[in-house]
Structure 1
């Protein structure tokens, strides 16, 4: 009995070691699939339980097996998340992650990690999103993507191609990280002083301002559209929002963002989506459940 117990303990230790080694990649897949760190962590807990209960002697490639389980669980969650978000109060934005604390998350093709791009991925079906993430963010071969999604290799290629075309058609020309940070800094100066003309100069004509608060007080329940309307609103709101705010710069999903205290216990995270034409999207994340990594209160 003692020998058998030692064998089981050793086998579980090996299983844990394999899982821990692969965990960053598995989290990266689940997070890019869902835009939620909390939901990604829940999936990883389920993957670990299944890995423990699997006859691992039959698994020739643990990395492939764990990626398969993670992706299939993420597809299921993504399908149910769509209906759950219909009851979300106000605009929904992806949950930000602190990539300065976890640089491995964005190590592989990090453009598929940016908040604006995660929001764009919401336009895809869960299966299209899985195919795209596996191929474009993690460079999985098409036969393995086909196995994970339970489709033919030809269909896997078609899913990735269709997703790529839809995203390319919708995505604006990107700017580099340096220019992104510069634009955000210039915006902060203009917003804090309520300079309408300076704000309008920064904005693209189709600029949108979205506040993700899920009904929390102080978060707008509808997006603001258009450069003139957004600039006027920010100028009117400036005297109440910015005075005394001790702004902290952070790295969110591989891009610059700022934390703005709203009172002694609450914070707002602000980042932007921009192109050479200017700022297209102001993303204000107020929901404390999404700011646990930055000092918010999780629920």
Structure 2
């Protein structure tokens, strides 16, 4: 499968490469997994090479349609697999460039908080919501992608939008504010002062940690500032190994990379509302940390 443009390539390859980042973003937002998204792109490429381009009026739309169908098929399969997942499941974090945080729409759509909300939709609802609300695809084109009538797609979109609106973060903060809160949380982890934690955490904060059955993690979400503080100070990052953190950007938002004796232990993303942390998402599963070493380009266009 091509990943970089080359000179003298055929029209099918040139078109696919030109839209590859968009197709990956579509697949990732539908699946929450970079590995599965890459598999979807491979399947999309194989089908794209068999298409008669002379019969395709809008190549970008056609590629999005193929990607959506392949992602839907895979989503139905992985949902069954996730039901047997050990502990809490979190999306696979992606290292993103700092300037992605300035794109409010993109950052919100790929944030850990939003990705978890999307997990509560049915596969078809998720596809319709992502295509309509995130990528602004027309109803007729979505209908062709999900094998529904335009009228049915409108109903699904309305239902999905209402569902997401009831669960999405209440406010959107600037990239600067999010960075400031992330920096303060980093200092709290270093000082291990309970009051520093309580000053930063919203009263109803929720912590979700994902060890995948490979590393230690909370079996259920930890709710409330007091319990989250005790979780961290009472054992989560308390180890014989030296704990250090580094600021990073994950899924378009400021985050922390956590190291034990210099080895990457996990990535901690956060949701910030009204100057406080309302959500913490700690991915420790080593099988999900493969995309935090190099930036993944994402785009809505």
CA–CA distance in 1 between the matches of 2:175 and 2:73? 34
Q: Does 1:36 align with 2:50?
A: no
Gapped runs of 5+ residues in structure 1?
A: 1-9
2:71 corresponds to which residue?
A: 74
Residue 57 (structure 2) pairs with residue 60 (structure 1)? yes
Q: Which has the higher contact order (CA 8 A, sep 6+)?
A: 2
Matched with 1:139 is 136
The answer on whether the counterparts of 1:93 and 1:212 sit within 8 Å (CA) in structure 2 is yes
> Which segment drifts farther, 76-85 or 95-104?
95-104
- Work out whether residues 203 and 227 of structure 1, in 8 Å CA contact, stay in contact via their aligned partners in 2: yes
Could you tell me how far apart the structure 1 residues matched to 2:225 and 2:198 are?
Answer: 6
Q: Which residue of 1 aligns with 2:86?
A: 89
Supply the RMSD in Å over aligned alpha carbons.
2.6
Note if contact 1:262-1:268 (Cα within 8 Å) is conserved in structure 2: no
CA contact (8 A) 2:232 2:238 kept: no
Alpha-carbon distance between aligned partners in 1 of 2:167 and 2:236, rounded to the nearest angstrom? 32
Q: Is the 8 A contact 1:114 1:253 kept in 2?
A: yes
* Residue 170 (structure 1) aligned with residue 189 (structure 2): no
Deviation at 1:47, TM superposition (A): 0.6
Distance 1:135 1:39 in 2: 22
Rg larger in structure: 1
Unpaired stretches in structure 2, ≥5 consecutive residues: 1-6, 295-301
Structure 2 counterpart of 1:50, from 27, 47, 53: 47
Runs of 4+ in structure 1 off by over 3 angstroms are 101-104, 106-110, 241-246, 263-266
State the TM-score, normalizing by the size of structure 1: 0.87
In the alignment, which of 7, 11, 15 is matched to residue 12 of structure 2?
15
* Number of aligned residues: 286
SS at the partner of 1:247? strand
- Distance (whole Å) between structure 2 residues aligned to residue 258 and residue 277 of structure 1: 17
- 3-state DSSP of counterpart to 1:215: coil
Kindly report which structure 2 residues correspond to 1:218-257, keeping only aligned pairs within 5 A, or say none: 218-237=216-235, 240-241=238-239, 244-257=242-255
Distance 1:119 1:168, change over 3 A: same
Aligned to 2:97: 100
Give the drift of 1:188.
2.1
Cα distance in 2 for residues equivalent to 1:191 and 1:101: 22
Q: CA deviation at 1:22?
A: 1.3
Which residue of the partner structure matches residue 4 of structure 1? none
2:257 and 2:264 in contact (8 A); partners too: no
Which aligned pairs between 1:158-197 and structure 2 lie closer than 5 A?
158-174=155-171, 175-197=173-195
Alignment map for 1:106-125 (pairs within 5 Å): 109-125=106-122
> Normalising to structure 2: TM-score of the pair?
0.86
Deviation at 1:103, TM superposition (A): 5.0
Alpha-carbon distance, 1:196 to partner: 1.7
In the other structure, the counterpart of 1:5 is none
